[in-house]
Every structure is written in structure tokens, then in C-alpha cells.
Structure 1
């Protein structure tokens, strides 16, 4: 997880891949969560998930960074949320994920002031963002 290398130092706290995989399998099976695959010419290049008004998960492959794909996928997910009647969406981003924070801030997401900690060591801080749709 190159995008989270500053959040989960691999020498001390490797990214909890197995735990995250188990959590995501449960979320995929949850009818309250909509999951999306970002497909480019038949190749999976990203993913997204939403739950009600929460933009739950989002990412594109490192090879697609800077290509504009993330912005297009983001906008499509927000359009689906808007179509479902969501007026204000929210999400959480690791405080140490500078690239992710810049991405969302450039697309109009604003900090709410609310913070939480993740459930995985070293328990990094999550910043909450919101955006009017």
C-alpha cells in the first residue's frame, strides 16, 4: 500500500492486509454497502464503496496516479450518491495521507473538525471531511 506507507511504517507496523481483506469481504456482502470496480479496458484499476452518505473506500492503482482516472471515478461515485438523495457526503482520511488529503481538498471536501483513530496499530488518526453534493 504505497499510498499509506507514511501511515503504516512497514518496518514496525505493516499494513494489516489480512484484517482489511476480511473486513472488506464482509462489507462486500453487506447489502447496505454499494461497492464499485473502476474498470479500464477490462482491467481493474480501482475501487470504491459507499454506505448511505459515507464515501467509505476509494482508490486507484499507482499506475493510474496523475492520469485523471481517480477524479473521474470520484465524480461518478458522487453522482450516484446524489442520485440516491444524498445531499452532504462525508469521508475519513488518514491524517498522514498527504496525497489523499490534497486529492479530496482539491475536489471540494472540507475538514469537519471531527477526528477518530483507526482500529489497527499504530492507531493513526483519521480526519473527517464533508462535501455538499
Structure 2
């Protein structure tokens, strides 16, 4: 199975649409066989699902993600695990072990807020729908 993680400095990057790198893992049912870091070369929201599909990605682990990107990934046949945080390698190991901590209902709606470029998904712009805060 090929798994991609939004990636920055060893961690799960928290804004799918601004991902400059993905860490791509080749796995079997229980372990990581190999991994590589792939640059997106400036691909934005719309092109990232195609980028992942071209790599043969079956699963994506990420932080915040918007509705349009969710739809594009679904159309590409990529299973999504949003709302993950922490060390990228550890998140993949947790997924393979069946205990990944993620938030399936998280929706990033940062485009509806007026603020500067310093925004980090996971702060005010991302909501975990259906879960009490």
C-alpha cells in the first residue's frame, strides 16, 4: 500500500493545500518498507490530488483540509485520514497498527476568514464538526 503524509520538518504539515512536500511510504500490512520525500513543485489545492494519484497513493494522512480537496481526493480514489498531528513516521506506524488518532470530520474553512499569511490550520480556521470542544 502507498501512503502519503503532508510533510514539513518530520511532522504532519497542517495545511493540505499549502503542502510543499509529501512523505510517501511503501508499506505492507504491518510495516514501512521504504519512504521518500516528494516535492510538490508549487502545486496548489486543485493539483495536489492529481499529484498524489500520479504517485499511486492509496491513503493520505494530513492535518487540516478543505471540502474541495476532500472531494478531489475522493474522486481520485484516495482514502483520507485528516486531523492527524505529530511525527509523520509515527502516524504511518499508528495507521498500520490500527490506532491512528485522527479527526474524520475536520473541515478547514480558512478561506472564509480575513487574516494574514501567518495562519496555521488547526487554529481558528479549522473546525471539528460533530465533536464538542
User: With structure 1 as the length reference, what TM-score do the two structures score?
Assistant: 0.31
Q: Which has the larger share of strand?
A: 1
More RCO (CA 8 Å, sep 6+): 2
User: With structure 2 as the length reference, what TM-score do the two structures score?
Assistant: 0.31
Q: Which has the larger share of helix?
A: 1
CA radius of gyration, larger in? 1
